Amino acid sequence: MTYAELSSFIKKQQSFLCVGLDTDINKIPNHLKQEENPCLVFNKAIIDATAPYCVAFKPNTAFYEAMGVKGWQNLFDTITYIKTNYPHHLVIADAKRGDIGNTSGMYADAFFNQMNADAVTVAPYMGSDSVKPFLSVKNKWTIVLGLTSNEGAADFQMKGNPELYKQVIKEVSQWGSKENTMFVIGATKADMLKEIRTIIPEHFLLVPGVGAQGGSLQEVAAHGMNEHGGLLVNASRSIIYAGSGSDYALYAASEAMNIQQEMSTLLGLLK
């Protein structure tokens, strides 16, 4: 998916919502536990329910790895289900990988070729040769951690002069282009988006932290949106666990629709 395609899909869907598939087998509705594969049944229902209101899905690998080998299969099957049924939606493997060059190449192969994800999140600590193997895969997106939504962002990212996250954004944005690179910027740091936009006015930003983590969608849009949309705002727990009964998918759809409607209003301000 190109930059232009993503931008027009956002305008078509009137949404820049990314649904985080952080499926915790202990948190899904009880009645699903009698299914042969509760995780996959849950994911498919959530995907079907929320696809009309979002432009991207983001399974976080941690939740699948915690299920053992079966979890890795579930991750594959979930991505295959999305790519088969909703080929226009962006699939982000939220993996936060990064290693020395030849090893990062193996990760790029795993997520882009084997698993057919459109995008993968990457940690920048190990520098250029750890990021470039992802960037070198054509028609795929590398989403590099910039300023994350958690408390620990203060420990290293927000220290230095200029702050480490600014160094990372400035440097990494030169390794690729807005056509293959995005940055993770936490919604809980929305006031910093304005300055970030002076460094990278055009890049797409993946913004977690709206919903359960408390970030504000209005603030994120006010400071982070650009004329192409420029944002993918993720919500995970607040959508996928909105309901806990047999009608859980309806609750997820309703929660996603509420966010989409707010996003539609915000996108209207672009015109």
Residues designated as active site: 96
Q: Closer to its own copies by CB, 8 or 73: give it.
A: 73
Q: Does 22 bind its own copies (CB under 8 A)?
A: yes
Total number of residues that touch its own copies (CB under 8 A): 57
> Which 111-150 residues touch its own copies, going by CB under 8 A?
111, 114-115, 123-131, 145, 148-150
Q: Does 153 bind its own copies (CB under 8 A)?
A: yes
Q: Does 218 bind its own copies (CB under 8 A)?
A: no
Task: Decide if 42 contacts 257 (C-beta within 8 A).
Answer: no
CA 175 – CA 59 distance, rounded (Å): 26
Q: Which two tokens stand for residue 82?
A: 């999305």
Specify the stretch interacting with its own copies by CB under 8 A; choose among 45-53, 80-88, 95-103, 257-265: 95-103
**Beta-strand (E) ranges in 159-257?**
181-185, 204-207, 231-235
Q: Of 220, 221, 222, 232, which Cα lies nearest the Cα of 182?
A: 232
Q: How far is the CA of 59 from the CAs of 74, 112, 206, 232, 268, in angstroms? A: 10, 14, 14, 14, 29
Dihedrals phi, psi of 117, to nearest 5 degrees: -70, 150
Q: Does 205 bind its own copies (CB under 8 A)?
A: no
Q: How far is the CA of 208 from the CAs of 157, 188, 190, 195, 268, in angstroms? A: 16, 8, 11, 18, 22
Specify the stretch interacting with its own copies by CB under 8 A; choose among 6-14, 151-159, 191-199, 253-261: 151-159
CA 187 – CA 215 distance, rounded (Å): 5
Q: Closer to its own copies by CB, 48 or 163: give it.
A: 163
CA 248 – CA 243 distance, rounded (Å): 4
Query: Contacting its own copies (CB under 8 A), which of 167, 226, 238, 264?
Result: 167
CB of 43 to its own copies, least distance (A): 16
How would you class 103 by CB atoms within 10 Å of its CB: exposed for 0-12, middle for 13-18, buried for 19 or more? middle
CB of 225 to its own copies, least distance (A): 24
Query: Contacting its own copies (CB under 8 A), which of 19, 47, 92, 168?
Result: 168
| Length reported for the chain | 271
Query: Contacting its own copies (CB under 8 A), which of 68, 198, 269, 271?
Result: 68
CA 236 – CA 57 distance, rounded (Å): 10
Query: Contacting its own copies (CB under 8 A), which of 7, 15, 50, 104?
Result: 104
Q: Does 81 bind its own copies (CB under 8 A)?
A: no
Q: Does 179 bind its own copies (CB under 8 A)?
A: no
Q: Does 176 bind its own copies (CB under 8 A)?
A: no
Instruction: State the residues that interact with its own copies by CB under 8 A.
Output: 22, 24, 60, 62-63, 65-69, 71-73, 76, 94, 96-101, 103-104, 106-107, 109-111, 114-115, 123-131, 145, 148-157, 159-160, 164, 167-168, 171, 213
